[in-house]
Amino acid sequence: MSPEVVAHRGASTRRPEHTLAAYELALRQGADGLECDVRLTKDGHLVCLHDRTIDRTSTGSGAVSAMTLDELRRHDFGSWHGGEPAEVLTLDALLGLAADHGTRLFIETKHPVRYGSRVERTLADQLKRYRLDVVMMSFSVFAVHRFKKLRPEVPTVLLYDRLWPQTRPRFVDYAGPGVHLLRRHPDRGHGVYTWTADDPADIALCRERGVRFLATNNPDETRAHLADNLTPDQP
């Protein structure tokens, strides 16, 4: 089985990350799933942003947690990348897009953050409004644990960066090693979620080792590399 291609922050090489344009392009490119990071605004909205502040990816500055959604909406999140101007993307809008396309959404909660466990509580509540294939992820084992207690039916990924333990807690459905860890432990690749594989050698490694979900910034190139690696007895 070829890995499912997950668009990391959307098609984020070609479009500004975490914008509607990035996710729409990923869907046109045939991504099987979409990945996003979420953070809570001061007034309790989950928005799709990676960094603690908006300095890198917008025309504004300051911490996401110190701004309301209306304040975030005053800034442009597209032109830093050379793209069209873009509004901050709410998780609600992305859930709507994923639901319209029947596409699996991988949602990563960032920690440590000012609002702590409120992030997972808000996410668990918000997901009740959607009938959608969702996977919750975090580098924080505590975040994954508390989310699983709230929504046991939603699959979870525990992300690993520096070390990849041999075993995972029972509330973790998939291990989520960075591709640098997969290179170090290729024998453990079967059925895992791996991030972020853009290099053809890494994509080939994911396929050979039976990775289940492959997060990439370039869904179209990754799909092409996976197709190139097909052999006649590997449909």
Residues that are catalytic: 8, 50
According to the binding rule CB under 6 A, does residue 17 interact with ligand G3P?
Answer: no
The nearer residue to ligand G3P, 196 or 230, going by C-beta atoms, is 196
For 89, the 3-state DSSP assignment is coil
* Residues that contact ligand G3P, how many (by CB under 6 A): 8
Residues 6+ apart with CB under 8 A from 103: 27, 31, 32, 33, 34, 97, 133
Nearer to Ca ion, 173 or 233 (CB): 173
| 123, 46 contact by CB (below 8 A) | yes
Distance (Å, whole) CA 184 – CA 189: 10
Shorter beta-carbon distance to Ca ion: residue 139 or 229: 139
Residue 174 touching ligand G3P (CB under 6 A): no
215: partner contacted, choices Ca ion, ligand G3P, none (Cβ within 5-8 A by kind): ligand G3P
Which residue, 142 or 230, is less far from ligand G3P as judged by CB?
A: 142
CA distance 66 to 166: 39
Binding mask 179-208 for ligand G3P (x = CB under 6 A): ----------------x-------------
Alpha carbon distance 38, 49 (integer Å) = 6
Question: By Cβ distance, which residue is nearest to ligand G3P?
Answer: 195
**CA pair distance 185, 94, nearest whole angstrom:** 34
Query: Site for ligand G3P (CB under 6 A): which residue of 12, 26, 35, 154?
Result: 35
Q: Give the Cα separation of 110 and 126 in Å (integer).
A: 17
Phi, psi of 156 (to 5 degrees): -130, 150
Tell me which residue has its CB nearest to Ca ion: 108
For the segment 144-163, give every residue that binds ligand G3P (CB under 6 A): 159
Decide if residue 215 touches ligand G3P (CB under 6 A): yes
> CA 175, 181, 182, 185 torsion: positive or negative?
negative
Residues in the interface with Ca ion (CB under 5 A) total 2
Which of 45, 67, 108, 182 binds ligand G3P (CB under 6 A)? It is 108
Report the C-alpha gap between 144 and 100 in whole angstroms.
27
Residues near Ca ion, by CB under 5 A: 37, 108
Residues near ligand G3P, by CB under 6 A: 8, 35, 37, 50, 108, 159, 195, 215
